Structure 1
Amino acid sequence: MRILRRKRKPLEIDDINIIDEQKSIQAIKAAALGNAIEWFDFGVYGYVAYVLGKVFFPNASPSVQMIAALATFSVPFIFRPLGGIVFGRMGDKYGRQKVLATTIILMTLSTFAIGLIPSFDTIGIWAPILLLIVKIIQGFSVGGEYAGAAIFVAEYSPDRKRGFMGSWLDFGSIAGFVLGAATVSAISNILGETQFAEWGWRIPFFIALPLGLVGLYLRHALEETPTYQQYNAQQNNAQKNSTPQQQSEKPNTFGTILSKYKRSLLVCIGIVVTTNVTYYMLLTYLPSYFTHNLGYAENHGVLIIIAVMLGMLFMQPTIGWLSDRLGRRPFIFMGSASLLVLSYPAFLLLKTDVIPYIFLGLCILALSLNMLIGVMASILPALFPTNIRYSALGIAFNISVVVAGLTPTVTATLVESTQNLMMPAYYLMIVGLLGLVTAYYLKETANKPLAGSVPMATSPEEAEELLEALHDNIEQKIEDLDQQILQLQEKRQKLADQHPKID
């Protein structure tokens, strides 16, 4: 039986979204600030892990205290996929803006609550239990945060600037981490180590509240993304013209997403694992590695890492801008290759106890990370169509982050059990190999519309250029298909010539 398909209406100039530049900037600010709060907590937690170990696990040895504190950091990552599933489904059904307003409330309150938890000496075993509960709530809310923020920025970005605009999302991550680390360092220096360990460590967590209120205000003031608005309008029109049976059809499940977008899911997982293992190794584990394993003074490595992170802030938008011109794949290739080849030399430099060499080693690792995070936020949303973008990305991203989030705990355990200080380097080398494989299978997304979406431009003139480029691309694809058909016809004829009964 032949299935008749209705001819699709050709894409015209009026179909292209013209993005208001001011609204794009507001979207970036709102998304980046939420990401900054998430990484502000990570920065603070990483730098006060040794204190939290004493406050919440006072009866353990120093090594076990640090591992326990880092484990409390890692365990909530197990709950991130649940948050990704819940918030992803909500984001695809009700819109991105509403979900992001919800996640920033939960994230802010849970970070603030850490500073309120009494010590083990005050309430006993309930202290670490409450810490774990708060971190689980935080993990659940963060499960919908990064994926939603990346989608929000991508759906507000014109095709030719998506790399640059997406790079500001992780600019917020680095800025939040630097702010968290700098806050801990400043308060520790002002109060002294004794008072900081007694009560001063709580202050950085309290600072998350005013930051979160600003972020909530920015997100609440934003409109829904143009891409989702257009998709929602199309769905409403389709709903009016659909039959009751079509209206009762169930939404896409993870099983159907997996069957239709397996390659995209695997590429997403590969990129996120490679990037976030490097992220957590450099930003969360290394502070404890410097003080506990290398025996450096607390501020010895902290100040150097902060200086390197400040350099990363400038590199981040630069790489995003370059990716709009050179493509995203080259940076995934280069960042992964750098991890594979240069991680070992970098950690040799970190062990020298010579500040210039330590700085150089950190710069090598930071540049590797920059090349990955500079393009991640612009790649991931482009892998999936609008109707399942939040659900698919929320699940794939957070499953990957579960693996990456174990990095501080696993690395600390490996170093303690083997007494081999180069274990972090080996860990990163394996991850670099994974990144190279992922880059090989990644299709280029630069300067192209999001999957299943119309092109987006900043002006009518740019819209005309995009439409012309799109038509040229379609013509080229048709020519390629015609060439393939011709080759197949020639191949068929050769086979037919060998058979007496086939023309």
Structure 2
Amino acid sequence: MQPDNSQPKTKPKIASSTTDPVDFDHAIGPDTSTPDGRREIRRATAASAMGNMTEWFDYGVYAVAVTYISFHFFPTEGGTLMALGTFALSFLVRPIGGLVWGPLGDKLGRKHVLALTIVMMSLSTFLIGVLPTFEQVGILAPVLLVLLRMVQGFSTGGEYGGAATFMAEYAPDKKRGFLGSFLEFGTLGGFALGTAVMLLLQVGLGDEAMMAWGWRVPFMLALPMGLIGWYLRNKLEDTPVFQELEERGEVQQHSSLASLIRGYWRPMLVMSGLVIALNVVNYTLLSYMPTYLEGQLELDPQASLMVILIGEVAMMAVIPFAGSLSDKVGRKPLWIGSLVGLFVLALPLFWLMGRSFPLAILGFAILGLLYIPQLATITATFPAMFPSHVRFAGFAVTYNVATAIFGGTAAIVNEGVIDASGFLLFPAVYMMAACLIGLLATRYMPETAGASLRGTAVPDAHDTGILADADA
């Protein structure tokens, strides 16, 4: 697609370039009109999604294993809150990971960072599965658990931002929403797989064996999953956008948090508002919900896992369609529709989930489907808010700081407020408040559907004429 030159515009350059402006008429990357080009795009999509699945498999397993974690590592009063606190602690390390991995990804390339982070993530998850318990080694057990969760958080600080950047820069401009949605398909796949494995083990082993040793099995499965992801990523070249930066001598060699904030505080601030809404909803629905259904609504553990699993499978079925729709109508309309829908319906749907098991399934599924338009477009939306030479760092730092403060703490905030007040609908109110912040951010959110991610200028959909063509 050639730029619309009927009304010439000059894109604002964010950093000086030593070369001529990027020639957007000259295509880069896989040729999607050929079988080999389409095959390379599929491999890049699979490699990104597999790594994301491994990352979120751990979070999914930990979320549904809180009862076992509490029993074996925090066998005191308030053990559930301590287990959820350990979950939140890993998120507090994520910004440090973003500060380290982000600039490295902009300097060394997306591929190398992703290969390393997936190995760190899967190995630390595996080691949780073989840790000694409090009964065996005393206080050393929770200390080791906390250390491994911190390693997971550090590696995740580069994994997610890197995978989203990698996928966004590989995808053709007009299909970035559709292809990028498969990264989040991997997210839900990881959650769903963790839930499904835990449910199968509970049914097959029984409560006694599950409490004794069965809870360890899902954590140990992360290692082979990580090795598969590492293999897939190492078989790929780095993204075409990064390779072009290297050829043009525009790779970011030196960067700091201060220079990043000074140059890109506006997109960082807007993205932070969107991430607050995204992750309060995400971690309330996908991480805290098993604890909420079992501890607060007193559902049977297997029944609560069934509620989560059915909802996650429904979300997975819809997510590629939402991603594809964003390529046609833009990202902003989907975000606004999702945020408004969740704000209006969160309270009645949480009330509905407390009525019965079938209504819990219905309420959770509707909440999940309302959330999908945000989740499906993360990869297409957030990386496109930064120019390519600082994209990894800008995404990783912004996303992980906001996630650490508002995402990883969602479970412990919800549980703590409910325990203190007895107000069972507080998670719905918390989600509604986050959605208001997200709606404010959408007011300043750039529409980047169809925009090229090449070069050191801020991507702008309106400079390409693609949205206008799509409307026509």
User: Structure 2 length normalisation: TM-score?
Assistant: 0.90
Alignment of 1:335-350 (within 5 A): 335-350=338-353
**How much does 1:472 deviate?**
6.0
Query: Which of 78, 82, 106 is matched with 2:92 structurally?
Result: 78
Which residue number in structure 1 is paired with residue 62 of structure 2? 45
1:264 and 2:267 correspond: yes
1:135 and 2:127 correspond: no
Which residue number in structure 2 is paired with residue 394 of structure 1? 396
Which residue number in structure 2 is paired with residue 23 of structure 1? 40
Residues 351-394 of structure 1: per-residue CA shift (max 9 Å, x gap): 102x3321221122101221110111111110111111111111
Decide whether the 8 Å contact of 1:339 with 1:431 is kept in 2. no
Give the share of equivalent positions with the same residue, in percent. 37
1:351 and 2:354 correspond: yes
Identify unmatched segments of 5+ residues in structure 2: 1-16, 32-36
Query: Which of 20, 25, 48 is matched with 1:13 structurally?
Result: 25
Which residue number in structure 2 is paired with residue 125 of structure 1? 139
Which residue number in structure 2 is paired with residue 283 of structure 1? 286
**How much does 1:304 deviate?**
1.8
When residues 7 and 192 of structure 1 are mapped into structure 2, their CA distance, relative to the original with a 3 A threshold, is: closer
Decide whether the 8 Å contact of 1:17 with 1:454 is kept in 2. no
- Taking the aligned partners of 1:453 and 1:385, their CA distance within structure 2 comes to 5
Alignment of 1:192-203 (within 5 A): 192-203=206-217
Decide whether the 8 Å contact of 2:450 with 2:464 is kept in 1. no
**How much does 1:252 deviate?**
3.2
Decide whether the 8 Å contact of 2:102 with 2:394 is kept in 1. yes
Larger radius of gyration: 1
Decide whether the 8 Å contact of 1:27 with 1:156 is kept in 2. yes
Which residue number in structure 2 is paired with residue 428 of structure 1? 431
Structure 1 counterpart SS, 2:170? coil
Which residue number in structure 1 is paired with residue 186 of structure 2? 172
- Taking the aligned partners of 2:458 and 2:324, their CA distance within structure 1 comes to 19
Which residue number in structure 1 is paired with residue 171 of structure 2? 157
- Taking the aligned partners of 1:6 and 1:233, their CA distance within structure 2 comes to 12
**How much does 1:94 deviate?**
0.5
**How much does 1:251 deviate?**
2.3
When residues 12 and 381 of structure 1 are mapped into structure 2, their CA distance, relative to the original with a 3 A threshold, is: closer
Decide whether the 8 Å contact of 1:100 with 1:144 is kept in 2. yes
Query: Which of 322, 325, 328 is matched with 2:328 structurally?
Result: 325
Decide whether the 8 Å contact of 1:271 with 1:376 is kept in 2. no
When residues 10 and 379 of structure 1 are mapped into structure 2, their CA distance, relative to the original with a 3 A threshold, is: closer
- Taking the aligned partners of 2:102 and 2:88, their CA distance within structure 1 comes to 22
Decide whether the 8 Å contact of 2:347 with 2:425 is kept in 1. yes
Paired amino acid for 2:148: V
- Taking the aligned partners of 1:408 and 1:472, their CA distance within structure 2 comes to 43
1:309 and 2:312 correspond: yes
Paired amino acid for 1:254: L
1:293 and 2:304 correspond: no
When residues 444 and 124 of structure 1 are mapped into structure 2, their CA distance, relative to the original with a 3 A threshold, is: same
Paired amino acid for 2:453: L
Which residue number in structure 2 is paired with residue 209 of structure 1? 223
Structure 2 counterpart SS, 1:13? coil
Residues 261-311 of structure 1: per-residue CA shift (max 9 Å, x gap): 222101221222211111110111110111111111111121021011101
**How much does 1:253 deviate?**
2.2
- Taking the aligned partners of 2:231 and 2:284, their CA distance within structure 1 comes to 33
Structure 1 counterpart SS, 2:449? coil
When residues 115 and 9 of structure 1 are mapped into structure 2, their CA distance, relative to the original with a 3 A threshold, is: closer
Which residue number in structure 2 is paired with residue 360 of structure 1? 362
Paired amino acid for 1:187: L
Residues 192-235 of structure 1: per-residue CA shift (max 9 Å, x gap): 01110111100001111111111110011110110000001101
Which residue number in structure 2 is paired with residue 417 of structure 1? 420
Paired amino acid for 1:116: V
User: Structure 1 length normalisation: TM-score?
Assistant: 0.85
Decide whether the 8 Å contact of 1:17 with 1:455 is kept in 2. no
Decide whether the 8 Å contact of 2:202 with 2:302 is kept in 1. no
Decide whether the 8 Å contact of 1:323 with 1:331 is kept in 2. yes
Query: Which of 197, 203, 211 is matched with 1:183 structurally?
Result: 197
- Taking the aligned partners of 1:48 and 1:223, their CA distance within structure 2 comes to 37
**How much does 1:455 deviate?**
13
Decide whether the 8 Å contact of 2:451 with 2:464 is kept in 1. no
Deviates more, 1:444-453 or 1:366-375: 444-453
Decide whether the 8 Å contact of 1:384 with 1:451 is kept in 2. no
- Taking the aligned partners of 2:288 and 2:19, their CA distance within structure 1 comes to 56
Paired amino acid for 2:319: Q
Decide whether the 8 Å contact of 2:386 with 2:458 is kept in 1. no
**How much does 1:471 deviate?**
7.0
When residues 12 and 421 of structure 1 are mapped into structure 2, their CA distance, relative to the original with a 3 A threshold, is: closer
Paired amino acid for 2:73: F
Paired amino acid for 1:428: M
- Taking the aligned partners of 1:187 and 1:125, their CA distance within structure 2 comes to 28
Query: Which of 440, 451, 459 is matched with 1:448 structurally?
Result: 451
When residues 131 and 472 of structure 1 are mapped into structure 2, their CA distance, relative to the original with a 3 A threshold, is: closer
- Taking the aligned partners of 1:7 and 1:46, their CA distance within structure 2 comes to 50
Deviates more, 1:15-24 or 1:33-42: 15-24
Paired amino acid for 1:32: A
Structure 1 counterpart SS, 2:352? helix
Identify unmatched segments of 5+ residues in structure 1: 240-248, 457-466, 477-503
Paired amino acid for 1:22: R
Decide whether the 8 Å contact of 1:254 with 1:392 is kept in 2. no
When residues 345 and 253 of structure 1 are mapped into structure 2, their CA distance, relative to the original with a 3 A threshold, is: same
**How much does 1:451 deviate?**
6.3
Query: Which of 379, 383, 386 is matched with 1:381 structurally?
Result: 383
Structure 1 counterpart SS, 2:197? helix
- Taking the aligned partners of 2:327 and 2:458, their CA distance within structure 1 comes to 15
Paired amino acid for 1:434: I
Paired amino acid for 2:26: D
Decide whether the 8 Å contact of 2:275 with 2:438 is kept in 1. no
Paired amino acid for 1:305: I
The root-mean-square deviation of aligned C-alpha atoms, in Å, is: 2.4
When residues 267 and 305 of structure 1 are mapped into structure 2, their CA distance, relative to the original with a 3 A threshold, is: same
- Taking the aligned partners of 1:391 and 1:454, their CA distance within structure 2 comes to 15
